[in-house]
Structure 1
Amino acid sequence: MFGSLLKHGLKKGRIHLIDHHGRTASYGSGTPEVTLRLHDARIGWEIGLNPWLKVGEAYMDGRLTIEQGTLYDLMDIGLANTNELSGAWTQALSNGLNRVLRWWHQNNPVGRARENVAHHYDLSRKLFSLFLDESMQYSCAYWPKLNITLGEAQQAKMRHIASKLLLEPGQLVLDIGCGWGALGIYLAKTAGVKVIGVTLSKEQLEVAQQRAKDAGLEGQVEFRLQDYREVPERFDRIVSVGMFEHVGIKHYPEFFRQVENLLKPAGAALLHAIGRRDGPGFTNPWLRKYIFPGGYSPALSEVLPWIEKTGLWVTDVEVLRLHYAETIKHWRANFEKHRAEIKALYDERFCRMWEFYLIGSELSFRYDYNMVFQIQMGRGINTVPITRDYMFDWERKEAERAFPQVPWKEGRAAE
């Protein structure tokens, strides 16, 4: 069954397949080239019927091993042939079913949202410290130059976001999905604002609160274990980074109504999230089951209509291409560097699962449909200036102040 799928769907790259009897067959041509061994009779049928779920499961469980080439090569072939492989009748049926059920998969009421967040973000904080940068930011960095460190790129991300918030000392800022607290602490230190950050992860909350205490910002920065739908205050600014992917499409009206309700009359908000360039879709079944239950990265066409139904103005939209691919490349290198320590925390199956997750994510941003968007919103037509000069001026001035040794000029992705 797996062989039949490869025979009709493999147009780029070459796969040699060794079944559980030791028989070999080859499919496709060119590079990359990999040799796979299937260790039991059932796995070939399972992969043939549902490759987007079963290849990852088989690799995690050791039922599929790679004898020539790398997992990166295998997933590169898979993404290069996505359209052809999806054309098989079994995949068309599976994709159609996933589209029908996506409303249920993304059902995230308050209680279920907390469970879904805990599934991923309440893993050992040591795990995240081993592959993230020193600020513990688990979201797309910003790469004005590619020859800077991951930590510098994450600092550049926070500057880029802050430049769009028009911050003034004393303003009250809400950080929805505050993570381990880096952005809230940065905004408080850099702009003199007061910050309330909310998260549904107990692990993240403990770290964020301790970091605010260590920075001497306890009276200026407050972190809470709270759903954004339960926040009572009103704010001058709202920012959300890497949280919207966990909202679920059926909850978008609720999300943007709450943003509007929480903003003061002259307030502004910035939404930073993973998106897709190819229109409405569904979350990869393996990713949904093992990494981000309830998660979905939307197309802009699924987001903007719900903002239009509020009283908010969309005042700026930016699409970041390749920035997340570069970020995950650094995470993956750090993960492999500390693989033995991570295996001691969990086990080899966990390491293979996260290897599959990180490689697949990097490739989806590098070659497939994923990107990151930033949407700036205001409560009124005059909330922000009518030109974007204020963003560039503030960002460059702050970059030169914070890192005078780095030539902060616009870079190209190819550099």
Structure 2
Amino acid sequence: MTRLETTLDRLSGLDRLNAAPLAGRMEEVLDTVLDNVRDHAGSASDARRSPAIGASRATVRHLPRDAALLLDILAELHGGVLTVRLPDGASLWLGDDQAGPAVDLHIHDWSVFARVLARGDIGFAEAYLDGQVDSSDLAALLTRLNANRAVLEKAVYGHWRGLLAARLRHLFNANTRAGSKRNILAHYDLGNDFYRLWLDESMTYSAGLFSGDPARSLAAAQDAKYRRILRKLGARPEQIVLEIGCGWGGFAELAAREAGVRVEGVTLSPAQLAYAQERLARAGLDERAHLMLRDYRDIRGQYDHIVSIEMFEAVGERYWPSYFRTVKRALAPEGRALVQSIVIRDDLFARYRRGTDFIQQYVFPGGMLPSPGEFGRRAARAGLAVTDQFSFGPDYARTLALWRERFEAAWPRIAPLGFDERFRRLWRFYLAYCEAGFATGSVDVVQFELRHG
């Protein structure tokens, strides 16, 4: 057991935000912070070490209790140096310099430490939205933190009272029929002009498929993803393909134009529907693609094939059975369904499903990721078999990095649409947070091929 684990073990059961029980043990915590800082700085250069470590005792002794405890945890990070600049201007170099580049964290307000200990990643995200923390490379910082998930686990999941409140908010966002429409509108009806400014010309808001080609553009990667789906379906001209969650019509247009299929699509977003219908009409494909404002639970009839691209994440665990029943009922006996979904690692799923996270609270209310294993089990209960699965998580990390670049470049044109700096920081954090998850493998994106079992 490390000194960090020993210290936290001794402090377990205490209210970390309650000053009384912790006050008597602060010497123990502060000494542990100093020891950890020294240990992890031991291999750093003198130039790097002197200004931080030379003043460490004076710096650490005046720290608030929450800061001391969280910095003690951060001192255990591996994969490179973390430079922490404190609100009073003091700096600490934590972690190690043996395995990766340095990343930085600038904390502007002491209350950040309490927010993180109380609400985990949600608290850190909220501190960023409020301008209380910054980093010169937010994606790199979040990637480092995500890669150290085991080290940070005790802080990341926060205090039970803060997380209980967040969990209750998440449960109130359940995807009932009314809730589904409300939750979809919260994210997708920000306005077509907003998304048009930073998505690629295909208006595709899902992972592109780069296949290791560094020269492939974002638009080409999106088309490659669509073409792979059509190949896996084995779709033939004049067959009818149902798309559950048709977005802005990118797949419907390419499928109708290149594969000669007929597409029926459903969405809950009026803004997306209007855009998709207009694009199909411009392309002369409106007779081959019929898109509707409809809940997936209201789909009737059978289709040769079914496609659903990154819509499953918005369904919510409570409604997974109804989703799979719909696919089972609507899929022709010899048909194939291709469901592309973001997934969380199987070993992380149990804890994830018990809590809530930044994405569920601020970006996709009511959403829930499956794990690959859980997806297969739920499909099997509905009489569907996973006959193939294709993972391409690193491609999503690249997609998100390109989206971040495009979003930042487009911000001078986005702001006049009525979005403020807090909105900008929300989206900056969201894109970087997701990129970090795919870069470290805690989440992945998978194309599941389904057939009748």
Partner of 1:87: 154
Query: Is 1:8–2:8 an aligned residue pair?
Result: no
Partner of 1:377: 450
Check 1:23–1:321 CA distance in 2 against 1; reply closer, same or farther (3 A cut): closer
Partner of 2:123: 54
The alpha-carbon deviation at position 102 of structure 1 amounts to 10
Query: Is 1:38–2:108 an aligned residue pair?
Result: yes
Partner of 1:131: 198
Match of 1:177 among 245, 256, 281: 245
Match of 1:156 among 224, 232, 242: 224
Between stretches 280-289 and 145-154, larger displacement belongs to: 280-289
Partner of 2:402: 330
- Is contact 2:209–2:221 with CA below 8 Å preserved after alignment? yes
Check 1:373–1:221 CA distance in 2 against 1; reply closer, same or farther (3 A cut): same
Query: Is 1:205–2:277 an aligned residue pair?
Result: no
Following the alignment from structure 1 to structure 2, what is the Cα–Cα distance between the partners of residues 45 and 188?
54
Check 1:95–1:257 CA distance in 2 against 1; reply closer, same or farther (3 A cut): farther
- Is contact 1:9–1:81 with CA below 8 Å preserved after alignment? no
The alpha-carbon deviation at position 307 of structure 1 amounts to 1.5
- Is contact 2:388–2:450 with CA below 8 Å preserved after alignment? yes
Query: Is 1:288–2:360 an aligned residue pair?
Result: yes
The alpha-carbon deviation at position 149 of structure 1 amounts to 0.6
The alpha-carbon deviation at position 74 of structure 1 amounts to 2.7
Partner of 1:409: none
Match of 1:269 among 337, 361, 364: 337
Check 1:352–1:96 CA distance in 2 against 1; reply closer, same or farther (3 A cut): closer
- 1:245-270 CA-partner distances (Å, limit 9, x unpaired): 00111211111111111112222211
Question: So what's the TM-score if we normalise by structure 1?
Answer: 0.84
Following the alignment from structure 2 to structure 1, what is the Cα–Cα distance between the partners of residues 247 and 182?
16
Check 1:28–1:284 CA distance in 2 against 1; reply closer, same or farther (3 A cut): farther
Partner of 1:240: 308
Following the alignment from structure 1 to structure 2, what is the Cα–Cα distance between the partners of residues 143 and 319?
12
Following the alignment from structure 2 to structure 1, what is the Cα–Cα distance between the partners of residues 126 and 241?
42
1:251-400 correspondence runs (5 A): 251-279=319-347, 280=349, 281-282=352-353, 285-345=357-417, 346-379=419-452
Q: Return 5+ residue gaps in structure 1 as ranges.
A: 381-415
Following the alignment from structure 1 to structure 2, what is the Cα–Cα distance between the partners of residues 249 and 78?
27
Highest RCO, 1 vs 2 (Cα 8 Å, sep ≥ 6): 1
Query: Is 1:221–2:289 an aligned residue pair?
Result: yes
Following the alignment from structure 2 to structure 1, what is the Cα–Cα distance between the partners of residues 297 and 259?
26
The one-letter amino acid of 1:116's match is N
SS of the residue corresponding to residue 136 of structure 1 reads: coil
Following the alignment from structure 2 to structure 1, what is the Cα–Cα distance between the partners of residues 244 and 268?
10
Following the alignment from structure 1 to structure 2, what is the Cα–Cα distance between the partners of residues 95 and 81?
22
- Is contact 1:278–1:369 with CA below 8 Å preserved after alignment? no
Q: Return 5+ residue gaps in structure 2 as ranges.
A: 1-65
- Is contact 1:256–1:307 with CA below 8 Å preserved after alignment? yes
- Is contact 2:82–2:95 with CA below 8 Å preserved after alignment? yes
Partner of 1:398: none
Match of 1:186 among 242, 250, 254: 254
Question: So what's the TM-score if we normalise by structure 2?
Answer: 0.77
- Is contact 2:74–2:94 with CA below 8 Å preserved after alignment? no
The alpha-carbon deviation at position 173 of structure 1 amounts to 1.1
Following the alignment from structure 2 to structure 1, what is the Cα–Cα distance between the partners of residues 383 and 157?
44
SS of the residue corresponding to residue 372 of structure 1 reads: strand
SS of the residue corresponding to residue 154 of structure 1 reads: helix
- Is contact 2:118–2:160 with CA below 8 Å preserved after alignment? no
- Is contact 2:266–2:294 with CA below 8 Å preserved after alignment? yes
The one-letter amino acid of 1:251's match is Y
Following the alignment from structure 1 to structure 2, what is the Cα–Cα distance between the partners of residues 2 and 74?
18
Check 1:99–1:61 CA distance in 2 against 1; reply closer, same or farther (3 A cut): closer
Following the alignment from structure 1 to structure 2, what is the Cα–Cα distance between the partners of residues 104 and 134?
36
Q: How much identity, in percent, do the aligned residues show?
A: 34
The alpha-carbon deviation at position 140 of structure 1 amounts to 0.6
- Is contact 1:317–1:374 with CA below 8 Å preserved after alignment? yes
The one-letter amino acid of 2:377's match is P
SS of the residue corresponding to residue 352 of structure 1 reads: helix
Following the alignment from structure 1 to structure 2, what is the Cα–Cα distance between the partners of residues 14 and 274?
29
Partner of 1:402: none
Check 1:88–1:210 CA distance in 2 against 1; reply closer, same or farther (3 A cut): closer
The alpha-carbon deviation at position 325 of structure 1 amounts to 0.7
The one-letter amino acid of 1:295's match is G
Task: Count how many residue pairs are aligned between Structure 1 and Structure 2.
Answer: 376
Between stretches 57-66 and 300-309, larger displacement belongs to: 57-66
Following the alignment from structure 2 to structure 1, what is the Cα–Cα distance between the partners of residues 441 and 386?
27
Check 1:78–1:314 CA distance in 2 against 1; reply closer, same or farther (3 A cut): closer
Between stretches 155-164 and 24-33, larger displacement belongs to: 24-33
Query: Is 1:64–2:136 an aligned residue pair?
Result: no
Partner of 1:399: none
The alpha-carbon deviation at position 214 of structure 1 amounts to 0.7
Check 1:214–1:322 CA distance in 2 against 1; reply closer, same or farther (3 A cut): same
The alpha-carbon deviation at position 2 of structure 1 amounts to 3.5
- 1:274-333 CA-partner distances (Å, limit 9, x unpaired): 112243124752221111111122101211112212333322222223110111111111
Q: Which has the larger radius of gyration?
A: 2
- 1:309-359 CA-partner distances (Å, limit 9, x unpaired): 233332222222311011111111111211211222211111111111111
Deviation beyond 6 Å, 4+ runs, structure 1: 98-103
The one-letter amino acid of 1:63's match is Q
Partner of 2:264: 196
Query: Which structure carries more helix by proportion?
Result: 2
The alpha-carbon deviation at position 232 of structure 1 amounts to 1.6
SS of the residue corresponding to residue 137 of structure 1 reads: coil
Following the alignment from structure 1 to structure 2, what is the Cα–Cα distance between the partners of residues 321 and 351?
25
Check 1:172–1:128 CA distance in 2 against 1; reply closer, same or farther (3 A cut): same
